[in-house]
A and B are shown apart, each in its own frame.
Chain A
Amino acid sequence: MSNYLDISKISIDFPTPEGPFRALDELSLRIKKGEFVSLIGHSGCGKSTVLNILAGLLQATEGGVALDGKEVNEPGPDRAVVFQNHSLLPWLTAFENVQLAVRQVFRDSMGKAEMRDWIQQNLKLVHMEHAMHKRPDELSGGMKQRVGIARALAMRPKVLLMDEPFGALDALTRAHMQDSLMEIQRDLNNTVVMITHDVDEAVLLSDRIVMMTNGPAATIGEVLNIDLPRPRNRVTLAENGDYNHFRQQVLSFLYEKQRKVVEIPREPAVDEHEAAPARGKVAGLVDRLGRRA
């Protein structure tokens, strides 16, 4: 099982009026079963594009992805996605949101009572059993993201794809969520691909950090093995030399080797999406295309 998720030489072109625009160029990566891999890179470098190709929401122009020996060419619940903005259906309770996924995936293999237990078990895993009959608008941002994770886990996916899952949360909530995720990983040992642009988060959670070069034609710059022992504790790690060394390496990649010359946006950019107009026409268009697809 050394090549559970095999990404081989994927490239993607987006059509623009000036001809095709190559956003990703021959990116290859092999991920082992049970491995936690983070993708890190500057805004607009194509991290989300990679994740969308893994999810099957986008098709690579060249190259391909195989999961557990089978080619990936459409979305499916074996590659559950945790979206950045939770993407819960606002008209369903936490329970019903997870139920929608469970019904869809296990309708032939689980009875009604079994399904209910499985939904509750997953909500318990993310510490949301107390609020499972609340609707998303009654939950805080962190709680919504917990339900999003429960929904993804409940599909019993082969790979869990996380698109900046904690990017929209405040620092304290983010730390709680990271601890929860480590706890879940200890129990379930899922294969995870996570996008982040938080260096601390990447070092704390990952087995490997994949650092991407800046676009256009983005690809993998460096890969860093994080062989820190588990369980990891953020407080004790703060004084750990290896931990600080890894952090320093990621920071040096991002801010020395791949230093980004950003035109100063007219208005302070809040996140990647808002920053798009400042990145010039082509990158902005790619971003839009990427999100639409």
Chain B
Amino acid sequence: MISISQQTWLQPWIKLARGERPSEQLRALAKTLLVPLAGIAAFLLLWAVAAGQINTSLGAFPGPLDVWQQGGALLEEHAAERREEEAFYERQRERNAQRQAVDPSYQPRIFPYTGSATFIDQILTSLMTVTAGFVLASLLAIPLGILIGLSHTLYRAFNPVIQLLKPVSPLAWLPLVTMVVSAVYVSQDPLVPKSFITSMVTVMLCCLWPTVINTAVGVAGVDNDLNNVSRVLRLGWLTHVRTIVLPSAMPMMFAGLRTSLGIAWMVLIAAEMLAQSPGLGKFVWDQFQNGSSDSLSRIMVAVITIGAIGFLLDRLMLAVQSLVSWDKSADLR
């Protein structure tokens, strides 16, 4: 997606490998690598020292080492759970084979495994929910943003409502969304669980606005000369939007999408925590309720994971932007 040569932190390594002025490359390396590493080291040290000073009812606040250990333990639990699942299905298959050998008319049934969700499972659930909510929000927000960006009247009509809904916290939406989903989404054999819909809709409602507003601003800011070109050519509405409006508004639109995705991820954790719907938020809440000596370390693992995933999601958006952007020389950061 992003070519290797563009990654500035890699360049000194590449040049060093080529043997281009080693001393200069080492200095560049020190700047790009050592300084950030020193920052991280300082943070870890501060954390370790501060953690030792804080005593909670669940024992001392976990330091970096405890968290590292619990991270490993969580991965091990996940692997054990998968082995358990595999063994469960294996036992069923064996039993079914035996019964069929005795009675050929027997219809084998496979019972689904109902083990508890591991940390990794919760991460995957959260990622799926945030993706669904964000995609749904984008599908609504981009067309809406284009429409209100193109028409002053529509902008004036929608703007008060948008400004009113924009600052609403996910926690305020959640009870309403839960009730509405319970009332509307009734099915004997639901395709996806209710909790998934609830979290997804909450995420959508909260992360809609930055994309709407940024797209509208980008669309309204199309160079007037380009609009005149479009008028002289008598471009149809769709062609006008596709060839002139969208490419012009692209950078603003992506700025909005990135903000939206960041908000979506933040909102999701809160929503999962409050709604007890599966995901990383529920993991944090469960650990908090659990109150064992490992709980704080495990919550800390979740905190770091949430941060890392949020960062990766932002980088992913950036990569998508540089992939679809017409201006490859633009400095994206």
| Interfacial residues of chain B within 222-238, with CB under 8 A of chain A in the complex | 223-226, 228-229, 231-235
A56-B231, A87-B225 known, 4 other contacts, Cβ within 8 Å: A80-B232, A89-B247, A104-B233, A291-B224
Instruction: Name A90's contact: one of B224, B228, B233, B327 (CB within 8 Å).
Output: B327
Q: Which residue of A lies closest to B243 (CB)?
A: A100
B234 near A91 with CB under 8 A, answer no
- With A83-B225, A292-B224 given, is the CB distance from A100 to B233 under 8 Å? yes
Closest 5 CB pairs of A and B: A91-B326, A87-B225, A75-B231, A91-B247, A75-B232
A77 near B224 with CB under 8 A, answer no
20 A/B residue pairs, CB under 8 Å, sorted by A: A55-B228, A56-B231, A57-B228, A57-B232, A75-B228, A75-B232, A76-B232, A79-B232, A81-B228, A81-B232, A83-B228, A83-B229, A87-B225, A89-B243, A90-B326, A91-B247, A91-B327, A101-B233, A104-B233, A104-B239
| Interfacial residues of chain A within 41-98, with CB under 8 A of chain B in the complex | 55-57, 75-77, 79-81, 83, 85, 87, 89-92
Q: Complex formed: what's the CA distance from A80 to B229 in Å?
A: 9
Main DSSP-derived SS at the B contact region:
helix
Inter-chain contact total with CB atoms closer than 8 Å: 54
Q: Mark B217-259, 1 if CB is under 8 A from A, else 0.
A: 0000001111011011111000100011001000000000000
Q: Is B329 an interface residue (CB 8 A)?
A: yes
Q: Complex formed: what's the CA distance from A65 to B223 in Å?
A: 27
Q: Is A137 an interface residue (CB 8 A)?
A: yes
B231 near A57 with CB under 8 A, answer yes
Please name all residues of chain B whose beta carbon is closer than 8 Å to the beta carbon of A90 when the two chains form the complex.
326-327
Please name all residues of chain B whose beta carbon is closer than 8 Å to the beta carbon of A56 when the two chains form the complex.
231
Main DSSP-derived SS at the A contact region:
loop
| Interfacial residues of chain A within 111-156, with CB under 8 A of chain B in the complex | 135, 137, 155
Candidate in B233, B239, B247 with the most chain A CB atoms within 10 angstroms: B233
Q: Which residue of A lies closest to B246 (CB)?
A: A91
B225 near A85 with CB under 8 A, answer yes
A137 near B329 with CB under 8 A, answer yes
Q: Complex formed: what's the CA distance from A85 to B174 in Å?
A: 52
Q: Complex formed: what's the CA distance from A135 to B328 in Å?
A: 12
Please name all residues of chain A whose beta carbon is closer than 8 Å to the beta carbon of B243 when the two chains form the complex.
89, 92, 100
Please report B residues at the A interface, Cβ cutoff 8 Å. 223-226, 228-229, 231-235, 239, 243-244, 247, 326-327, 329
Q: Which residue of B lies closest to A291 (CB)?
A: B224
Q: Complex formed: what's the CA distance from A104 to B242 in Å?
A: 14
Please name all residues of chain A whose beta carbon is closer than 8 Å to the beta carbon of B247 when the two chains form the complex.
89, 91
Q: Complex formed: what's the CA distance from A55 to B24 in Å?
A: 59
Question: Shortest CB–CB separation between residue B321 and chain A, in angstroms?
Answer: 14
Please name all residues of chain B whose beta carbon is closer than 8 Å to the beta carbon of A76 when the two chains form the complex.
232, 234
Instruction: Name A77's contact: one of B223, B234, B329 (CB within 8 Å).
Output: B234
Please name all residues of chain B whose beta carbon is closer than 8 Å to the beta carbon of A91 when the two chains form the complex.
247, 326-327
Q: Which residue of A lies closest to B233 (CB)?
A: A104
A77 near B232 with CB under 8 A, answer yes
- With A57-B228, A83-B228, A83-B229 given, is the CB distance from A89 to B244 under 8 Å? yes
Q: Complex formed: what's the CA distance from A56 to B228 in Å?
A: 10
Instruction: Name B226's contact: one of A55, A87, A292 (CB within 8 Å).
Output: A87
A77 near B233 with CB under 8 A, answer yes
Candidate in A91, A155, A291 with the most chain B CB atoms within 10 angstroms: A91
Please name all residues of chain A whose beta carbon is closer than 8 Å to the beta carbon of B329 when the two chains form the complex.
137
Please name all residues of chain B whose beta carbon is closer than 8 Å to the beta carbon of A89 when the two chains form the complex.
226, 229, 243-244, 247
Please name all residues of chain A whose beta carbon is closer than 8 Å to the beta carbon of B326 when the two chains form the complex.
90-91, 135
Question: Shortest CB–CB separation between residue B244 and chain A, in angstroms?
Answer: 7
Please name all residues of chain A whose beta carbon is closer than 8 Å to the beta carbon of B223 when the two chains form the complex.
87
Q: Complex formed: what's the CA distance from A155 to B225 in Å?
A: 18
Q: Complex formed: what's the CA distance from A89 to B247 in Å?
A: 9
Q: Complex formed: what's the CA distance from A79 to B235 in Å?
A: 15
Candidate in B225, B234, B327 with the most chain A CB atoms within 10 angstroms: B225
Candidate in A57, A100, A105 with the most chain B CB atoms within 10 angstroms: A100
Question: Shortest CB–CB separation between residue A245 and chain B, in angstroms?
Answer: 37
Please name all residues of chain A whose beta carbon is closer than 8 Å to the beta carbon of B229 when the two chains form the complex.
81, 83, 87, 89
B327 near A55 with CB under 8 A, answer no
Question: Shortest CB–CB separation between residue B204 and chain A, in angstroms?
Answer: 30
Q: Which residue of B lies closest to A97 (CB)?
A: B229
Instruction: Name B232's contact: one of A55, A85, A292 (CB within 8 Å).
Output: A55
Q: Complex formed: what's the CA distance from A81 to B228 in Å?
A: 9
Q: Which residue of A lies closest to B232 (CB)?
A: A75
Q: Which residue of B lies closest to A100 (CB)?
A: B243
Please name all residues of chain A whose beta carbon is closer than 8 Å to the beta carbon of B244 when the two chains form the complex.
89
Please name all residues of chain A whose beta carbon is closer than 8 Å to the beta carbon of B239 when the two chains form the complex.
104
Question: Shortest CB–CB separation between residue A108 and chain B, in angstroms?
Answer: 13
A104 near B235 with CB under 8 A, answer yes
Q: Which residue of B lies closest to A96 (CB)?
A: B243
Q: Complex formed: what's the CA distance from A172 to B202 in Å?
A: 62
Please name all residues of chain A whose beta carbon is closer than 8 Å to the beta carbon of B226 when the two chains form the complex.
87, 89
Question: Shortest CB–CB separation between residue B228 and chain A, in angstroms?
Answer: 6
Question: Shortest CB–CB separation between residue A156 and chain B, in angstroms?
Answer: 13
Q: Complex formed: what's the CA distance from A291 to B247 in Å?
A: 22
